[in-house]
């Protein structure tokens, strides 16, 4: 410390500059937040996504009515049961109820036919005990947000070919579908940022090699590439392992776009005077990249990442729909939609398309959110 203490006399003549208290009274973050809040679609998208993640990723068992894998022979292809507030006499019930469901075998077609039995009413209870599930995959519990007392049933979205409650399955499927997007994006960010930075900062041979790899990756058609890689996964792998592998496969193609964008940013930052200043003071390359470049590129990376999550969700759904992705008994939205592959199913049991609605909603919300963040983070949008 000795060598830097030196005698600067506080200048007597230099006028003290009063720091303007109000100049830019809003921090950069506050400005971005304000602009973001102004965009109603983006805010709506953000809320939907937040709800999705809380309900489906964190607490799917609690919000679901049943265990998603419980099969019921007496409730195959049961139609959705909607909660009722008004009975046939027009009397209003504060506590909603569902009608009973009678199941008969139609001897002509040998199919189960479900008839609503309006004589039986089952009130819907909230925070109630029902089928057992594991909270966070660890703790056994049986508390659900809502449910009815047996023998009543409450299939909000109906049931599938094995009599499993579709509502609970949609939530459980959401957990996988939304997580695949997230894990895939994290891998994308890591791969894209690291390779993009190396490419942009060091240039030369490394840049050439990375850019050629990027071009090669980009020239493959997506679905066949994913399908080939997914098909190569050993079938004996555990579902969890497969799930992770699928995430990796999805991000393998996804990082290229981000790498290019990060490279362009780094090339631009390299010309910025503050990067030159750091160089002039003797800062290492690592410091310049980590302290001066990546934090500045962060908002950019976040936007690209947000906008690439829907692509991941769609990709996972497509793969699973084709039977190449997530394998039962694990469910994802794509797995659920497999049931809706036949036109006859769709015509007779349209509720099986409901998972598709959730895919659309999630993808749209992510796009709105991403656009909103991009517009808000762009200092020139104003």
Partner 1 sequence: MAVEQKELAVGQELVRIEDLHTQFFTEQGIVKAVDGVTFSIEQGKTLGVVGESGCGKSITAMSIMRLLPEPRGRIVKGKITFFPPQQNNINQTSVDITALDRHSSQMRGIRGRHIAMIFQEPMTSLNPVYTVGDQIIEAIQLHQQVDRDTARARAIEVLEQVDIPDPERRISEYPHQMSGGQRQRAMIAMALSCYPSLLIADEPTTALDVTIQAKILRNMRDLQQEYGMSIMLITHDLGVIGRMADEVLVMYVGKKVEQAEVRNIFHNPLHPYTQGLMKSIPLIGLKDKKLVPITGSVPSPFNLPTGCYFAPRCPQAMDRCRREAPPETEPEPGHFVSCWLYK
Partner 2 sequence: MTNTDASVKDTRQVLLDVKGLKKYFPIRSGFFQKTTGYVKAVDGVDLFIREGETLGLVGESGCGKTTTGRAILRLYELTDGTVHFRSESGEMIDLSGLSKDEMKAIRREMQIIFQDPFSSLNPRMSIERLIAEPLVVHEIGDRASRHKRVVELLEAVGMSGQVAARYPHEFSGGQRQRIGIARALALNPRLIICDEPVSALDVSVQAQVLNIMKDLQEQMSLTYMFIAHDLSVVEHISDRIGVMYLGRIVELTHSEQLYQNPRHPYTEALLSAIPYADPDMVQEEILLEGNVPDPANAPPGCHFHPRCLYAKPICSKEIPQLVPTKDNPEHFVACHRAEELELIPVQPPERLLKQVGG
Query: Which residues of this chain interact with partner 1, rule CB under 8 A?
Result: 15, 17-18, 20-26, 31, 34-35, 38, 382
Run of H or E including 266: helix 239-271
Per CB under 8 A, 219 contacts partner 2: no
Pick one of partner 1, partner 2, none as the site partner of residue 28 (Cβ within 5 to 8 A by kind).
partner 2
The least CB distance from residue 34 to partner 2, in Å, is: 15
Pick one of partner 2, partner 1, none as the site partner of residue 34 (Cβ within 5 to 8 A by kind).
partner 1
Q: Which residue matches tokens 């699973």?
A: 320
3-state secondary structure of 33: helix
Q: Cα angle vertex 31, ends 26, 35, to 5°?
A: 150
The least CB distance from residue 324 to partner 1, in Å, is: 47
DSSP state of 130: E
Q: At what angle do helices 239-271 and 294-321 cross, to 10 degrees?
A: 150
Specify the residue, 26 or 218, whose C-beta has the smaller distance to partner 1. Answer: 26
Specify the residue, 42 or 294, whose C-beta has the smaller distance to partner 1. Answer: 42
Question: Using CB under 8 A, which residues numbered 16 to 45 contact partner 2?
Answer: 16-17, 19-20, 23-24, 27-28
Phi-psi region of 145 (alpha: psi -120 to 50; beta: other; left: phi over 0): alpha
Count of positions on this chain that bind partner 2 (CB under 8 A): 38
Encoded one letter per residue, x for contact with partner 2 by CB under 8 A and - for no contact, window 269-308 reads ---xxx-xxxxxxxxx--x---xx--xx------------
Specify the residue, 34 or 129, whose C-beta has the smaller distance to partner 1. Answer: 34
Specify the residue, 239 or 379, whose C-beta has the smaller distance to partner 1. Answer: 379
CA-based nearest residue to 370, from 232, 227, 278, 258: 258
Contact in structure between 246 and 230 (CB atoms under 8 Å): yes
Cα separation, 65 vs 78, in Å, equals: 15
Per CB under 8 A, 381 contacts partner 2: no
Pick one of partner 1, partner 2, none as the site partner of residue 8 (Cβ within 5 to 8 A by kind).
partner 2
Strand partners, 111: 106
Pick one of partner 2, partner 1, none as the site partner of residue 7 (Cβ within 5 to 8 A by kind).
partner 2
Cα separation, 173 vs 133, in Å, equals: 15
Run of H or E including 219: helix 204-219
Q: Which residue matches tokens 């980009």?
A: 218
Footprint of partner 2 (CB under 8 A) = 1, 3-4, 6-11, 13-17, 19-20, 23-24, 27-28, 208, 272-274, 276-284, 287, 291-292, 295-296
């Amino acid at each position: 410390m000795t060598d830097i203490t030196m005698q600067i006399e506080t200048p007597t003549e230099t006028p003290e500059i009063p720091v303007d208290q109000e100049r830019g009274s809003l921090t950069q973050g506050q400005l971005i937040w304000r602009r973001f809040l102004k965009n109603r679609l983006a805010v709506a998208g953000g809320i939907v996504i937040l709800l999705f993640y809380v309900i489906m990723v964190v607490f799917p068992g609690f919000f679901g009515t049943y265990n998603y894998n419980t099969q019921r022979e007496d409730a195959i292809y049961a139609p959705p049961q909607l909660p009722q507030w008004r009975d046939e006499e027009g009397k209003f019930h504060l506590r909603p109820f569902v009608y009973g469901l009678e199941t008969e075998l139609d001897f002509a077609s040998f199919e189960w036919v479900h008839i609503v039995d309006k004589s039986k009413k089952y009130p819907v209870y909230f925070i109630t005990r029902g089928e057992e599930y594991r909270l966070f995959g660890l703790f056994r519990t049986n508390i659900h947000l809502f449910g009815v007392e047996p023998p009543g049933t409450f299939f909000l979205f109906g049931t599938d070919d094995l009599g499993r409650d579709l509502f609970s399955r949609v939530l459980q499927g959401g957990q996988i579908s939304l997580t695949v997007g997230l894990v895939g994006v994290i891998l994308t960010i890591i791969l894209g940022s690291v390779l993009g930075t190396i490419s942009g900062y060091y240039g030369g041979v490394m840049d050439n090699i990375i850019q050629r790899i990027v071009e090669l990756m980009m020239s493959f058609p997506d679905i066949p590439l994913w399908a080939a890689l997914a098909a190569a996964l050993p079938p004996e792998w555990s579902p969890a392992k497969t799930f992770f592998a699928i995430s990796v496969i999805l991000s393998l193609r996804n990082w290229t776009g981000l790498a290019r964008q990060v490279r362009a940013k780094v090339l631009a930052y390299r010309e910025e005077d503050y990067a030159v200043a750091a160089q002039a003071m003797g800062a290492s390359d690592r410091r310049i990249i980590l302290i001066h470049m990546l934090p500045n590129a962060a908002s950019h990376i976040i936007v690209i990442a947000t906008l690439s999550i829907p692509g991941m969700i769609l990709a996972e759904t497509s793969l699973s729909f084709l039977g190449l992705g997530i394998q039962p008994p694990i469910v994802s939205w794509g797995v659920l939609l497999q049931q809706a592959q036949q036109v006859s199913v769709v015509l007779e049991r349209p509720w099986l398309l409901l998972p598709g609605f959730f895919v659309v909603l999630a993808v749209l919300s992510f796009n709105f959110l991403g656009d909103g963040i991009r517009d808000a983070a762009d200092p020139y949008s104003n």
